[in-house]
Amino acid sequence: MNAKDILSLIHPAIAVAFVFPIVGIVVNFALQTRQRRLHPNESKKIPPVVGREHLKYGRWLTGSVVGVTLIALAYSIFIKQPFFTGKPPFQMGFIIAMFVFTIAALVLLYRTRPNQPLWRAVFATLSSAGLIVLGCQDGVFRRTSEWYLSHYYFGIVVSILMVVSLTIVPEIYKHQRWRVTHTVLNTLAALLFLGQAMTGARDLLEIPLSWQAPFLYQCDWQNRVCPEPQSSQPVEGHVAKAPRF
Ligand code: HEM
Ligand code: HEM
């Protein structure tokens, strides 16, 4: 493995070691919070702090999911392909500025107060828009033709759902309607996290190591055949990997 291959592992490793354990903690506290609220008499063993704990780890989850998405995008944009050659300086400056703005908008969203709904909405919109704009850059593999199985689209949607959760915390406490909205949206988020685990593992399997890439990209992707080494004859049944660029 060369440096580029090793760098490609940062984001999956952080997701597996940090993000998914936090997802488990947050979902566990979510179920207990709901159980305690709906059946107060039968759930005397559930401590009253579960709602607070869900919120505490939920705040960590938002930051870590957006963080892991930004790391994945940064790898695709800056490292997977040459970034500092052949691009106009304006485009390079714009992309770097977008990373800074997106992180700044999220930090400001964390710092807003419950009585500032407008600012919460503004910073949530800005940080989500930042993720979308960065996702549109060259180098990001979006799998748009198969969007319903795309690690990229699931990742962006789940990141935005986490930003929305953080934004509406005061409303969840105030109105039942928002509590239900939060539960519905984040049940979807939990499924998307499962999807991220599956599509991410699939993508790792499909992407060749740098030294293997030149050989694999000689393959015929449509018919899934590769040339035999030292022979130009394609061999039936030799399954090729899909092109990544
Ligand atoms: C996979 C992620 C998540 C799931 C599945 C989830 C699900 C839930 C569920 C089922 C409830 C209880 C609703 C009820 O009482 O019926 C809840 C409450 C709540 N959630 Fe989440 N949630 C998630 C992430 C988050 C995040 C990221 C935040 C904030 C940053 C958050 C903030 C809250 C708050 C403030 C409550 C109310 C807690 C209380 O009653 O004390 N949640 N959530
Ligand atoms: C919460 C969890 C995760 C989120 C939010 C997430 C998000 C993303 C996003 C937004 C991208 C950008 C797509 C691109 O630039 O090509 C990406 C790329 C990638 N992710 Fe994840 N990811 C998560 C977990 C994982 C896991 C667990 C793995 C592997 C085990 C993984 C493997 C990959 C790979 C290999 C790529 C590069 C895809 C490519 O270039 O085709 N991810 N991820």
| Number of the ligand closest to the Cα of 61 | 1
Give 106 Cα–ligand 1 centroid separation in angstroms.
19
H/E element, 71? helix 50-74
Q: What SS3 state is found at 227?
A: strand
State whether the beta carbon of 15 lies less than 6 angstroms from ligand 2: yes
- Model confidence over 183-236: pLDDT tens digits? 999 999 999 999 999 999 999 998 999 999 888 888 988 898 988 877 555 555
How far apart CA 118 and CA 193 sit, in angstroms, is 29
What are the phi and psi torsion angles at 226 (to 5°)?
-120, 150
DSSP 3-state helix, strand, coil percentages of the chain (rounded to 5)? 70, 0, 30
Q: Please tell me what DSSP assigns to residue 190.
A: H
- Model confidence over 83-130: pLDDT tens digits? 888 788 899 999 999 999 999 999 999 999 999 999 999 999 999 999
State whether the beta carbon of 11 lies less than 6 angstroms from ligand 1: no
Tokens of 22: 């936090």
State whether the beta carbon of 26 lies less than 6 angstroms from ligand 2: no
State whether the beta carbon of 30 lies less than 6 angstroms from ligand 1: yes
Every domain of the chain and the residues it spans: 3-87+140-207, 212-245
